[in-house]
Structure 1
């Protein structure tokens, strides 16, 4: 059972915010208005008493969170939807705050940080819920960010984050989480300032000469953009799989042996191709019936910051993503060469599209890509090995486990660096139990007999 101990509102330091801040939503932000909130959990070992947690840790977390908001004002803001149906925008006024919940749980901490399959429903008590929107005479206001800190007596702490995707992409949100961790650990923001890692909010670095943002809003403004809290039960289990560096090398070598003309495949390419084909092949064992000619989709986001012309600074806070989509017939992924077909297709679209000449076109088609995959069989990716949340140390050590809870509802897999193994990758899945069992068997056996044809047989 999980019990709320306290709920409070955290404001930036009063002296730092003396006037209203408004930021327009760019064409990178607008498509995410209709996307569900993003939910992340970081679990930390913390073998200390409740008194120490409440008297020492909680005050420091509150103070450091307030100081972090000094540099990340948009996270203590609201997205405003004008009653006139004009394009929404972000606004912070004096007194706006971020919702923080402090809770206590007696759930099995060791089970929660394990890799084996666990009931996905048991993670939701640690996920903060965005406050409901408010109706004002001229606007409807949507909060964009909230935090929950849950204490497990003598075992651990979980910090949960929920954000509206329109406020920022993974690069932005991870930047905030690491900044808060640094300020909490070092009791101040001097290291953050010295490292010149403060976020940039200037929307003028995003060029939109064709007015794509307004075109996007014209397509979205009549949709319902309010998402209810997650409903339980979801009837899924969550599990984590590790692809060790040696496994990744075997996958790369096997691709190059079959596709010698392919440019050296990356760890990302072979990991995604392997997970994708394992998931497709696990379908029959879990009772799925799919037409042989039905398309399977794989979609993934690409950070456009360094790939636009002119480039956008790496510290830019907001969304700056394009999407790439690979389409392959179901029967091809089920066939002997499925893994190699997937790897080649993913590598090829990256080669063709991830460059400065193509990324603007990719970015400007984001909403069209969303529309294309609605109702389709799609696997997408949440997270990236580029954003290492296992570095987020609040003063009591590195996290023991990262869980991307929002993959429960959108058909994604999570992907990040492995916590304990250099060069390895950590994959998170949320599936019905029968499919998870089938996937686990195929994933393990495929790695065990990587060089044999039996893995690639129908």
Structure 2
């Protein structure tokens, strides 16, 4: 395909960040003290997600003004989003996590950096130094009982700045986080909420009695310790394995993606629909095959590879859930094939297998997954998880000082997780995608060769 992995010649390893002050932000108005129910999807996502949003300097909005507007908007947004200012609790009688909506507040920090935004270079590359731009969150079930949401505004010497946000995943999925950012931006501009959040998480409660009507090979069972430290099983799945990994970014332009789509169409029968040939499906199929074959040592053709990716289920319920549902409303779709099948299958067959994962996600299937978690917590698990931030649109949020130049999550190197990121708007890659891969050195060499070969 002629694509090459992208690695900057040099990166700044220290952004020379100095914290100026920290405070706690409380809701502007008094909120009702209550306990928020967390669905079975929320229950297994007790870990922190950090994102950073880079903004160019705006002469009409000096750093002090921006910090004040963000803090003021936070105070306002914590009224409709009262659970952000709460604390995670374990109900000892039910053995379930819930949010104590007690208006305890969110963390807010101002910081400065001695470098300019231009000196950082490629914002798409997952620079480990970006971790300096977001406050670290503690385990929310430990005695310090830290906030579920933390903001850090870091000003660069050029006047540009970064907004780092740390949130516990029980608060939002990517879609509801985007709505939250839209509302924060609207309130910062002294406008009404862009969309009214739907905080009724009981909409995703299990049925009574629970009915598991499908097999769920995409889920594994973990028993939660009796003391209620529900995050421990989650950490077992999401913490990186201790091994030496290389980390590279592979970029596919919109033209490259079109080539993959045409490659898929070649294998279609006359009566087959092209609806399955989407950008996500063809890129995922290509990555799945390359990743599986790269890890094959030549004697594992019968070994099964399980691919997982997230599907928004709001519109798949009957009746549909409101688009503004604030909790986690995504489930893991799966595709399974042996290494031999992945080597030999036509490209359109791979695309079809990927598409079948989302097609499987009906109202009944989604409710079966939720009910499956009622008796024991189940975690999605496979040898390859595609975590896609490609189409979430964080960089399209209209703040008073302008849209972000780039928005991305902070990345931990994990062998079984491949991340899809958008490119910077206006770049030469158009509506392309950045693919972040972490593998041992020999597997990375093999993956790169396969990835760059249009016949892989």
TM-score normalised to structure 1 length: 0.79
Deviation string, structure 1 residues 324-358 (Cα, Å, up to 9, x no partner): 1112222333x25464442121122333x133343
The secondary structure found in structure 1 opposite 2:122 is coil
Q: Does 1:37 align with 2:48?
A: yes
> 1:73-112 maps to which residues of 2 (within 5 A)?
73-84=82-93, 86-94=95-103, 96-107=104-115, 109-110=117-118, 112=120
Which of residues 305, 310, 320 is equivalent to 1:296?
305
C-alpha distance in structure 2 between counterparts of 1:155 and 1:436, whole Å: 38
Question: What residue is the counterpart of 2:161 in the other structure?
Answer: 157
User: Residues 80 and 142 of structure 1 are in contact (CA less than 8 Å); yes or no, is this contact kept in structure 2?
Assistant: no
Tell me the number of residue pairs that the alignment of Structure 1 and Structure 2 aligns: 421
> 1:344-359 maps to which residues of 2 (within 5 A)?
344-351=352-359, 353-359=360-366
> 1:296-445 maps to which residues of 2 (within 5 A)?
296-333=305-342, 335=343, 337=345, 339-351=347-359, 353-365=360-372, 371=379, 373=381, 377-385=383-391, 387-406=392-411, 408-409=413-414, 411-418=416-423, 419-420=425-426, 424-432=431-439, 434=441, 439-440=447-448, 442-443=450-451, 445=452
The secondary structure found in structure 1 opposite 2:325 is coil
Which of residues 6, 12, 21 is equivalent to 2:34?
21
Which of residues 163, 168, 180 is equivalent to 1:176?
180
CA pair 364-81 structure 1, distance change in 2 beyond 3 A: same
Q: Does 1:274 align with 2:276?
A: no
How far does residue 303 in structure 1 lie from its aligned partner after superposition?
1.4
How far does residue 83 in structure 1 lie from its aligned partner after superposition?
4.7
How far does residue 68 in structure 1 lie from its aligned partner after superposition?
1.8
CA pair 433-117 structure 1, distance change in 2 beyond 3 A: farther
The secondary structure found in structure 2 opposite 1:298 is strand
C-alpha distance in structure 1 between counterparts of 2:153 and 2:166, whole Å: 12
How far does residue 409 in structure 1 lie from its aligned partner after superposition?
4.2
User: Residues 42 and 403 of structure 1 are in contact (CA less than 8 Å); yes or no, is this contact kept in structure 2?
Assistant: yes
CA pair 133-204 structure 1, distance change in 2 beyond 3 A: closer
- The alignment's C-alpha RMSD in Å is 3.7
Where does structure 1 lack aligned partners over 5 or more consecutive residues?
A: none
How far does residue 133 in structure 1 lie from its aligned partner after superposition?
3.7
Deviation string, structure 1 residues 383-430 (Cα, Å, up to 9, x no partner): 351x21111233332222222224534733333554337982423415
The secondary structure found in structure 1 opposite 2:78 is helix
CA pair 314-221 structure 1, distance change in 2 beyond 3 A: farther
Where does structure 2 lack aligned partners over 5 or more consecutive residues?
A: 1-15, 212-219
C-alpha distance in structure 2 between counterparts of 1:85 and 1:143, whole Å: 23
